Amino acid sequence: MTPPDIEPSCRACGSSRLRLGFDLGLLPLANSFLSVQNSEVQAPESRYPLRIFYCDNCRLIQLSDIVDRREMFDDYAFLTATADTSLVHFDKYADQLTRKLALSAEDLVVDIGSNDGTLLKAFKKRGTGVLGIEPARNIATRAEAEGIPTINEYFGSESVARIGRNKARVVTANNVVSHVGDLNGFVESVSELLDAKGLFAFEVPWVVDVLRHYNFDIVYHEHLSYFGFKPLSQVFERYGLELVGIEHFPAIHGGTIRGLAAHLDAFPKQQDMLDQTFGAEEKEADFRALERFANHAKEFRSELVALLRRLKKDGKKIVGYGAPAKATILLNYCSIDRSILDFVIDTTPFKQGKFIPGVRIPIMHPDEFRKAKPDYALLLAWNFKDEILEKEREFLQSGGKFIVPFPEPEVVG
């Protein structure tokens, strides 16, 4: 374990006026699933402080304990294409941008943090040039094998030097900007890569949704920033970019916001939507909201653990459904281990046979769910609630129940 660096100033504006709003304690890395075969299973895994700060100057909510990114991303467990909801979302995303900019084969779309190439495949299908940039070697190799040209590195000025300035008609970055430590350097490089008439489209969990729905489990070491668009737009302006449009997707990852940015005066601005977004952030993402969020997480923990213990006492069999990164945070923060959940199932092949970090609950193939016939399933992949409840109709019809954790722990079925 490399001890985390403490970043004493705000990632967006450089101010040192950072206030601690929520200390979740020492937690393991959310995506560091443990192998069964590996001796790691016996040795205690690394835990790192997870603390959320609020910048009194620009209002960016952020972590200041920075874990070495190589420990988190060089080998990565998250694949975009594991849920149908995501495939549909990214297909529509490509469709919208292709039409908006009338993209053709001469236009290059660069996706930063391109993962398994899901979004670029959707662009390629529509005839544009595509290029992925993905630091995780295991995932970059996979995308490349499926026909998506992928540079295996962390995006930055070297990527721009390799590709060329003003080259990309579209730059996309989905669930990436929140992971970036050097936010200013990142935005500067995007600005250099982007064609004068190009669009930068990016998706992040919106801080207002995170706080509104009390989704403390999306707080993990990878997510360094919890963006409002106000602090972010100030960083854009520093590098000659401006926000021109915003779209809100309440059902994606519990509340995602897509921003569109461009070089100054290149595109008309959706001023109404920008004003509305900034207004909501001012009201709902201040320091008091962060304190409420922290208090709610503590109450949530008592409530969920009491419910699960009561069910166990009544002899019920409970398993976990889905092993997303956020399951590591929820289970560890609430100290829910194998004495409560027999196992967790997940459709991702390389998670199966491994253990959730910290609480060390085994992750099994979904067939085990059907074989075990549990009474209750704790829905850890709650962001796919509709998709999963639909898929598991038989479980529900035969008397099985889901425990949906957010906004309040609720038994469904």
Compute CA distances 362 → 77, 217, 229, 345, 359, whole Å: 16, 19, 39, 8, 9
Q: Which stretch binds ligand TMP (CB under 6 A): 22-30, 54-62, 77-85, 219-227?
A: 77-85
The span from the CA of 343 to the CA of 345, in Å, is 7
- Residue 316 CB, shortest distance to ligand TMP, in Å, is 21
Judged by CB under 6 A, the residue of 323, 356, 379, 403 near ligand TMP is 323
Binding partner of residue 55 among Zn ion, ligand TMP, none, CB cut-off 5 to 8 Å per kind:
Zn ion
Cβ proximity to ligand TMP: between 78 and 229 the closer is 78
Do 106 and 170 touch, CB atoms closer than 8 A?
A: no
CB atoms within 10 A of CB 265: 9
- Residue 233 CB, shortest distance to Zn ion, in Å, is 13
- Residue 89 CB, shortest distance to ligand TMP, in Å, is 11
Judged by CB under 6 A, the residue of 83, 112, 187, 311 near ligand TMP is 83
How many chain residues interact with ligand TMP (CB under 6 A)?
A: 17
Name the nearest CA neighbour of 11 among 231, 262, 263.
231
Site for ligand TMP in 334-363 (CB under 6 A): 346-348, 351
Cβ proximity to Zn ion: between 128 and 225 the closer is 225
Binding partner of residue 257 among ligand TMP, Zn ion, none, CB cut-off 5 to 8 Å per kind:
none
Cβ proximity to Zn ion: between 11 and 142 the closer is 11
Judged by CB under 6 A, the residue of 117, 324, 358, 405 near ligand TMP is 324
Using rule CB under 6 A, residue 330 touches ligand TMP: no
Do 76 and 136 touch, CB atoms closer than 8 A?
A: yes
Cβ proximity to ligand TMP: between 210 and 325 the closer is 325
The span from the CA of 185 to the CA of 61, in Å, is 19
Half-sphere exposure of 119 (CA within 13 A, CB side): 29
**Residue 251 corresponds to which tokens in the numbers above?**
């059902």
The span from the CA of 193 to the CA of 170, in Å, is 9
**Binding footprint of Zn ion on the chain (CB under 5 A):** 10, 12-13, 15, 55, 57-58, 60
The span from the CA of 243 to the CA of 231, in Å, is 11
- Residue 11 CB, shortest distance to Zn ion, in Å, is 7
- Residue 82 CB, shortest distance to ligand TMP, in Å, is 4
Element (H, E) at 354: strand 354-355
Distance of CA 56 to the CA centre of its chain: 25
CB atoms within 10 A of CB 399: 9
Binding partner of residue 348 among ligand TMP, Zn ion, none, CB cut-off 5 to 8 Å per kind:
ligand TMP
Do 268 and 243 touch, CB atoms closer than 8 A?
A: no
Residues 146-156 as b/e (b if ≥16 CB within 10 A, e otherwise) read: eebebbbebbb
Cβ proximity to ligand TMP: between 108 and 327 the closer is 327
Using rule CB under 6 A, residue 383 touches ligand TMP: yes
Interhelix angle 229-238/271-284, rounded to 10 degrees, is 120
Judged by CB under 6 A, the residue of 201, 325, 361, 379 near ligand TMP is 325
Q: Which stretch binds ligand TMP (CB under 6 A): 185-193, 269-277, 307-315, 323-331?
A: 323-331
The residue with its CB nearest to ligand TMP is 324
Burial of 81 per CB tally in 10 Å (0-12, 13-18, 19+): middle
- Residue 84 CB, shortest distance to ligand TMP, in Å, is 7
Binding partner of residue 324 among Zn ion, ligand TMP, none, CB cut-off 5 to 8 Å per kind:
ligand TMP
**Which residues of this protein are in contact with ligand TMP, per CB under 6 A?**
78, 82-83, 322-325, 346-348, 351, 381, 383-384, 387-388, 391
